[in-house]
Amino acid sequence: MRSWLKLAVLALVAIAVTELLLYRARTVKVPAGTAAPGFTLPDTFGRQVSLEALKCKVVAVNFWATWCGPCREEIPELTQVYAENRGKCFEMLGIAEESGPRDEIVATAGKLGVTYPVLLDQDGKVGDAFKIPGYPRTFLLDTSGRIRKVFAGQLDGDSLREALAPLLREAPASCPRA
């Protein structure tokens, strides 16, 4: 009987170590300064939106979910920053993951007053490429498509404005402004 107990303890330790290693693999982050993973996703109207097509603009990519409380709390401030900077070589993309069917995402975005494009990552592949461990998570990209700032957790408007300002100043004069 003691040998069974030893085997059980050994099995539990092996499971715990495996879970720890898998957790660490999932939480490796895409570091600032690297190129953002490319993607093309449908928006809530069915149009395809490509990150590559936005390379000439500063882009905020916000990963969120309809059930996520902090996501829902930050959206009004993100919407305000988007409205203030929309014509200044800036684009914001809200990527909805783990949020149910399109109609549920559209309804939630409408209730929250989202005015920027909401993209549907139904299979989570874009979130996986960005190594998203939880929501919300926002990546601020420069006009070359490089990650310049990563915000983990709920983001307030002032923090986004502060990080966005120097990137907008760096944007080329030839940037499409609207």
- pLDDT (tens digit per residue) in 100-148: 899 999 999 999 999 999 999 999 999 999 999 999 999 999 999 999 9
Residue 69, burial from CB neighbour count under 10 angstroms (0-12, 13-18, 19+) = exposed
Q: What is the pLDDT of residues 73-98, one digit of tens each?
A: 999 999 999 999 988 899 999 999 98
Rounded Cα gap, residues 130 and 126, in angstroms = 6
pTM recorded for the entire structure:
0.81
What is the model's pLDDT at position 30? 60
Average pLDDT over residues 60-78: 96
Rounded Cα gap, residues 50 and 42, in angstroms = 9
- Give the three-state DSSP class for 59: strand
Rounded Cα gap, residues 34 and 150, in angstroms = 11
**Phi-psi label, residue 140: left if phi above 0, alpha if psi -120 to 50, beta otherwise:** beta
Rounded Cα gap, residues 92 and 99, in angstroms = 19
The residue type at 166: P
Among residues 157, 158, 134, 127, the alpha carbon closest in space to that of 61 is found at: 127
Report residue 82 as tokens. Answer: 């988007």
